Homo-oligomer: A and B are copies of this chain.
Amino acid sequence: MSTRVFILSDHTGITAASISRALLAQFPHQSFELEEHPFLDSLEKVTAIVTEIARLNAEHQPPLVFSSFVNGEIRDLLVRTCGKRLFDIFEAFTPPLEKVLGEPASPVTGQLHGIGNSGSYTARIKALDYAMIHDDGSITRNYEKADVILIGVSRSGKTPTCLYLALHNGLQAANYPLVDEDLESSRLPGVLQEFKSKLVALTIDPRQLHRIRQQRRPGSRYASPGQCEWEVHQAENLFRKHHIPVIDTTAISIEEIAVHITAEIMH
């Protein structure tokens, strides 16, 4: 029987959700049924769920609760209801942090988002516009303003990575798709030459590339195993020859690619 898991927060609950998934993944023999309840920013809003938890407890089917509540009153209520089955980020870390910093915490919800952060919001929107204008095959190549330029064959992960970097890091990320004529030579495409220091290459296993392209254009030359293998082979030679840092996107997520790239840029 699967254990019910409540993910509760007075804000988006994104962090509580990601923690719960990472922790529960360590118990692969058990099954869990997750449900998320964000924006529970008052005792009133949390009441119905607390009642549901108390009911499950009484029926000897106590759920797990992962939460992030800045509000101490709500946390106290949950501690009383859930006991040891409550895993709240602020409950776990705020008291020891207060001790170490020698100062009581001031509860602030969602402080890191929203209007207080509108400078960064503007940067992210600007970066997003940039990423969309400078996506695959676009004519505009305003690479002077790029923080990073991703190169790679079609469907190696450039577009989602550029959008992620814009949305999350406010980075202006352009991308340049390597096409057959680029790949036939081992020269760096002309438009990229003066921006070599901004280049990061993405590569991918040719079989995975074949599978992805098959979904896009089934049975095409573009999707054929031979074409995919040739493109990846040529691209990797080009990256090696010009000492461009390479990230293999085959088995990693967009978040992971993005973190590798920000680390690369910092160097």
Contact = CB atoms under 8 A, between A and B. Distances in A.
A206 to B, nearest CB: 15
A163 B110 CA distance: 22
A43 to B, nearest CB: 20
Interface stretch (A115-123, A145-153, A181-189, A225-233): A115-123
Contacts of A256: 11-12, 110, 113-114
A132 B134 CA distance: 13
B259 A39 contact: yes
B251 A115 contact: yes
Contacts of A125: 160, 212
A85 interface: yes
A111 interface: yes
A14 B108 contact: no
Question: Chain copies in the assembly?
Answer: 2
B27 A114 contact: no
A212 to B, nearest CB: 8
A5 to B, nearest CB: 11
Interface in A223-266: 250-256, 259-260, 263
**Interface size class for chain A?**
35 or more
Given A93-B92, A106-B28, A108-B26, A114 B253 contact: yes
Contacts of A108: 25-26, 28
A160 to B, nearest CB: 5
Given A167-B160, A255-B12, A112 B22 contact: yes
Contacts of A251: 114-115
Question: Which of the listed residues A87, A93, A108, A124 has the most CB atoms from chain B within 10 Å of its own CB?
Answer: A93
A60 interface: no
A39 B18 CA distance: 17
Given A85-B100, A113-B256, A93 B124 contact: no
A133 to B, nearest CB: 12
3 closest residue pairs by CB, A with B: A113-B253, A26-B105, A115-B251
